[in-house]
A = this chain, B = another copy of it.
Amino acid sequence: MADHSTRAAYTVDSLLAVTVRVFNERGYDGTSMEDLSRAAGISKSSIYHHVRGKEELLRLAVGRALDALFAILDEPAAAAGRPVDRLEHVVRRTAEVLLAELPYVTLLLRVRGNTATELWALERRRDFDHRVAELVQAAVAAGELRADVEPRLATRLLFGTVNSLVEWYRPGQRGAEGLPDAVARFAFEGLRAR
């Protein structure tokens, strides 16, 4: 009975939160259903009650990060206005989503491509990058971005800067609310005082 009540207390969301933590610690390849069962404190059959297996958990976890990122592109400030302002909005919001969904985005950024789900995640990441690269191109065409940084490189540096937050940001860190703005200022205005 105790086992049953524990199982009932688990939802896909809470199982996912544990799963993502374990995936990030051990790597997806290095994690077994046994590891997940132990970390969640529920039996493997209880996990199979919710999902078909490890790969479905991965799909749900990276899907959560991807959905949050793609939703940014449909926001009004990303969809209309000067390309450079739309781009800056996307960069700021990408940083916000990264901080809000840190373990999920961290997992997404570490996906390797060994399974169909990983290949799907990489493909959707490329789609997102491509959408942002189109915004960069539009901003360059409008003369809103400096001409001496190649558009493809600009896109990579933007993502490189935002994504580097996962390397050092820890949840609850002081000053987190100002980070997305600071990242956007860094990327668009640069560090040098004027």
Contact = CB atoms under 8 A, between A and B. Distances in A.
Interface in A141-157: 143-150, 153-154, 156-157
Copies of this chain in the oligomer: 2
Contacts of A150: 175, 182
Interface residues of A, number: 36
A122 interface: no
Contacts of A143: 193
Contact of A191 (B154, B159, B182, B193): B154
Contact of A144 (B148, B164, B185, B192): B192
Contacts of A189: 146, 190, 192
6 contacts: A146-B189, A153-B182, A154-B186, A188-B190, A188-B191, A188-B192
